[in-house]
Chains A and B, each alone.
Chain A
Amino acid sequence: AQSVTQPDIHITVSEGASLELRCNYSYGATPYLFWYVQSPGQGLQLLLKYFSGDTLVQGIKGFEAEFKRSQSSFNLRKPSVHWSDAAEYFCAVGVMNYGGSQGNLIFGKGTKLSVKP
């Protein structure tokens, strides 16, 4: 069965420091992978997605992620964190259904990011 693991429940980094959020997935085929961010009480905003091609994916707000098939990982990175990046981050894998079209996403349980001044 498909699954996503985000091993870190809560991470605290200093403003200006680099960030890496970990994500491991389990999926039988080539996955569609996503990172979303959620501010308190809000919906989820798509940061970036991977479905083929270059394994290093650039997203919004200065985020990037690297797909490593051998490690079944899709870690999210940012070189310099801003206080406004404090939020919860979710990794997700796309489950293919319905003749190969995109179906529902399976989400990890999220990593809460706190940023200290």
Chain B
Amino acid sequence: EAGVTQSPTHLIKTRGQQATLRCSPISGHTSVYWYQQALGLGLQFLLWYDEGEERNRGNFPPRFSGRQFPNYSSELNVNALELEDSALYLCASSPTGKVGYTFGSGTRLTVV
């Protein structure tokens, strides 16, 4: 069984640009979660999608947005990039309503 896959592995952007990160959940998983892991700040919850709907959102500005597609894959978009957005972005998936989810290996976003 394939795990959660994220692309790209690394992404380098210039301040002010937009970044798009992608996540494919485990087959059969309908929930996708996005987390930001910045140095010294731990894992911060960004977004939760389930069945194509945004179910919950963390304390991040609106320039962090995303969506979930009919095949349950998901996209995270970060607009107007700031240097502080440099972090490892982790995606996780789970079956709807199930406890404990599986993480991907992450996308390392560097803003210069």
Contact = CB atoms under 8 A, between A and B. Distances in A.
Contacts of A100: 97
A106 B45 contact: yes
A34 interface: yes
B103 interface: yes
B75 interface: no
A46 B45 contact: no
Interface size class of B (residues with CB under 8 A): 20 to 34
A43 interface: yes
A43 B106 CA distance: 6
A94 B52 CA distance: 21
Given A43-B90, A90-B43, A107-B43, A102 B99 contact: yes
B56 A103 contact: yes
Given A41-B108, A44-B103, 19 more contacts: A42-B106, A43-B90, A43-B104, A43-B106, A44-B90, A46-B101, A97-B48, A98-B56, A101-B96, A101-B97, A102-B94, A102-B99, A104-B33, A105-B33, A105-B45, A106-B45, A107-B35, A107-B42, A110-B42
